Structure 1
Amino acid sequence: MDAPPSARTPAQIRRWRRHLAAERAEAAVYRDLASRRTGEERSILLALAAAEKRHEQHWVDLLGDDVGMPLQGDLRTRFLAFLARRFGGVFVLALVQRAESRSDYDSDEHATARMAADEQIHEEVVRSLATRGRNRLSGSFRAAVFGANDGLVSNLALVLGIGASGVATGTILVTGVAGLLAGALSMGAGEYVSVRSQRELLDASTPDPEAVKALPHLDVDANELALVYRARGMDADAAEERADGVLARLRTAGGPVVAGDGAVPGDGLGGAASADAPEVDELESHGTAWGAAISSFCFFASGAIVPVLPYLVGMSGAVAVVVACALVGVCLAVTGAVTGLLSGTSPVTRALRQLLIGFGAAGVTYLLGLAFGTSIA
């Protein structure tokens, strides 16, 4: 809705100009992201930039002669543009997704309902673009986050618990280093076995590509191919119809069938039950066993060394405890914030959650140390 010049307030003009600057900055982010991609992703990002251009024109038309000199976007959007120009990738897409979710067009009377709807859909588009990167990252990322946090919390708890019992500083240091090595090796081995077992379980559920060789020899009247589709969730009639279609194409094509030769399009033996269902690489989302093991080992060790650092540099007593807690707190907050950013949620909330859980566990261990020993010297 256009407001006549006489009805405009300075506050409205300032708000419209901020909206204009934000749209220009967001369009630049999408263009920068597109410059680092090819194919369909590039086309999608350029289409998003064009949509932001339409929104930009809305505010230009509304401002008219009051458009003034171009303003810079807010600090957050300019930082996004900097990251998009230099990095791209799932981390930037996650930040863009969160930025799109903060649109206030649905509560602004001068933004159209179509613009508000656009912003909601933009968030879903960016979420979809980021999904594949998140899938590739999720296996090793899970192991890394779990390893780092476990190292931070478990070794801080160990150091605090042993320190609270009144033992010598040298004993605390040896205990901390032993906890680091034992925990890192245990985490690495555990992650390897866990992910390896999970991948083997998924492998066992993956259709055998060699099964397609049996298709030419099936009894057309019995049509046992339909049982495959029924076992994958199709109802009996749909399974029969699809199996009949596959066998009919086989008869039309003629000749032997070998796995992967493409002679029987749409046979479905290597895919989902529904022809329209997207194929998902489940193994990709869990990462490799070695990748998870190495990530877990390294990140546990990097987390577990933090509570030991004050003792390594010669600190002792309450000073060492305070410094160790402060260092661990910073690390917990950072890992929580990064997790929040990559998942498209609030980094502050995730950071606070990490701090609460980490210090809660360490605090319980410290109290137990006090209960079974003497206070810190």
Structure 2
Amino acid sequence: MDPTAYSPGPSRPQPPAPPGADLRKWRRYLADERAQAAIYRDLARRREGEEREILLKLAEAEGRHEQHWIDLLGGHADKPVRPSVRRVLLRFLARSFGSVFVLALAQRAEGRSPYSSEPAATSAMAADELIHEEVIRGLATRGRARLSGTFRAAVFGANDGLVSNLALIMGIGATGAASSFVLFSGIAGLLAGALSMGAGEYVSVRSQRELLNATKPTQISLAAAPDLDLNANELVLLYRARGMSVEAAEHRAAERMGRLQCDCDPSLSLQAPEHYEHEYEEIGTGWTAAVSSFCFFATGALVPILPYLFGLQGPAAVLVSLVLVGLALLCTGAVVGLLSGASPGKRAVRQLGIGFGAALATYLLGLAFGTSLG
């Protein structure tokens, strides 16, 4: 690659001869830039059209950053250094899957760039990394939109199943009930909660789609337009009711009636709104949401009662149940954080705290009832 093809802007003051620590750091930067460029090329192979072109352009940009470190290292650039573990894993995922999860990880990798505080990097390189994060965020938005309807039902269903059934068996177990009673209570909670979640999600999504259908403009204006009185044109009122200005509404009405004979601003000729289809895509379908909620709630609610199904009793069953649910809550929280572009660790700990907080509250209530009943 021609190093003169990229003008990275003014560099911060650089040492004339890098010490050993800088050499190691610059080699790591070089290895990471090469790995990041390879990640974008691997992602591009799984896409086509505009998305593919954007990813290849990002790979070219990483190549320009790579050249910067090659120039600084000089003869020291040939010594091989492995990229960070995070980028090695990310490239494996990009080669194997290329999904929105990989884009979300790439977004976080760009957001953690050290160049803003690195004296040997240029201000343009630091700015590039900030822009790259936003570009990846834009590419990931489409996948997040496709996932959001079903994914919401799946995550909420699994989380509700984990928390509600853990709280149920903790509360009942604290009263001193037999393990068999705790188990049957957990199974009943699983079935009741899963059916309730499925029905609730179906009604919720169907109602939301029906509201959108009631709001979506119809094409009745096309059929009625030829017979309208031009001097008392209610079609203008229709477009004004949809939010157009008076000028745009009059222009659109004349256009619909085939009587537009002026050289007007072409931007006033609006196309039919398309955002309704995108909203439908993000919401999902009623049956998809219902089935997802049922299955994931049942899966989540099964985890707390697994120790009882395998014959454990007393404190041992409670401890194993807490460990299993804790691990599951950490996983669901991390996935939510990952897809939202936030810190998976923080979201995982938040999910764990909320779930265990609810379980603790019901356990304390169970102790209180058990003591009063005793």
- The separation in 2 between residues aligned to 1:249 and 1:122, in whole angstroms, is 48
Q: 1:300 aligns with which of 284, 297, 300?
A: 297
User: Which range moved further: 8-17 or 189-198?
Assistant: 8-17
Deviation at 1:361, TM superposition (A): 0.5
* Partner in structure 2 of residue 348 of structure 1: 345
1:237 aligns with 2:247: yes
8 Å Cα contact 2:12-2:122 kept in structure 1: no
After TM superposition, the score normalised by the length of structure 1 is 0.89
C-alpha contact (below 8 Å) 1:101/1:123 kept by paired residues? yes
Residue ranges of structure 1 left out of the alignment (5+ in a row): 253-264, 273-277
% identical equivalent positions = 63
- Using the TM superposition, give the Cα deviation of residue 246 of structure 1 relative to its aligned residue in structure 2, in angstroms: 5.1
**Counterpart Cα distance in 2 of 1:348 and 1:320:** 27
Q: CA deviation at 1:374?
A: 4.6
What whole-Å deviation, never above 9, does each CA across 1:249-297 have from its counterpart, x for those lacking one?
7679xxxxxxxxxxxx98646317xxxxx77610110111101000100
What amino acid maps onto 1:12 in structure 2?
D
Q: Distance in 1 between matches of 2:102 and 2:194?
A: 30
2:140 equivalent among 123, 130, 135 = 130
Distance in 1 separating the partners of 2:151 and 2:242? 31
Structure 1 segment 214-233 matched on structure 2, within 5 A: 214-233=224-243
Give the structure 2 partner of residue 258 of structure 1: none
Alignment counterpart, residue 196 of structure 1, candidates 203, 206, 210: 206
Instruction: Count the aligned residue pairs.
Output: 359
Question: What is the aligned partner in structure 1 of residue 361 from structure 2?
Answer: 364
Deviation of the 1:211 alpha carbon: 3.2
Structure 2 unaligned regions, length at least 5: 1-10
Matches within 5 A, 1:203-282: 203-245=213-255, 247=257, 268=270, 270-271=272-273, 281-282=278-279
CA contact 1:337–1:350 (8 Å) conserved in 2 = yes
Conservation of the 8 A alpha-carbon contact between 2:202 and 2:290:
yes
State the 1:18 CA deviation.
1.2
Matched, 1:115 2:119: no
C-alpha displacement of 1:3: 7.0
For 1:335, the aligned partner's letter is T
Amino acid in the other structure paired with 1:124: E
Larger deviation, residues 360-369 vs 223-232 = 223-232
TM score, norm. by length of structure 2: 0.90
Change (3 A) 1:231 1:244: same
Within-5 A mapping of 1:1-377: 1=11, 6-245=16-255, 247=257, 268=270, 270-271=272-273, 281-374=278-371
The alignment yields a C-alpha RMSD, in angstroms, of: 2.4
- Equivalents in 1 of 2:219, 2:82: separation in Å? 56
| Deviations 1:115-141, CA, capped at 9 Å, x for gaps | 111111111111111111111110111
**Any conservation in 2 of the 1:90–1:130 contact (CA below 8 Å)?**
yes
CA distance in 2, matches of 1:4, 1:100: 23
- Alpha-carbon separation, structure 1, partners of 2:227 and 2:315: 79
Seen in structure 2, the aligned counterparts of structure 1 residues 246 and 290 have a Cα distance that, compared at 3 Å, is same
User: Alpha carbons of 1:320 and 1:2: their partners in 2 closer, same or farther (altered >3 Å)?
Assistant: closer
Q: Distance in 1 between matches of 2:14 and 2:363?
A: 67
For residues 131 and 329 of structure 2, the distance between their equivalents in structure 1, rounded to whole angstroms, comes to 33
User: Quick one: which amino acid aligns to residue 286 of structure 1?
Assistant: I
User: Which amino acid letter does the alignment assign opposite residue 45 of structure 2?
Assistant: S
Q: Distance in 1 between matches of 2:208 and 2:83?
A: 46
Query: How far apart, in 1, do the equivalents of 2:55 and 2:152 lie?
Result: 28
Query: Which residue identity is paired with 2:149?
Result: G
SS at match of 1:7: coil
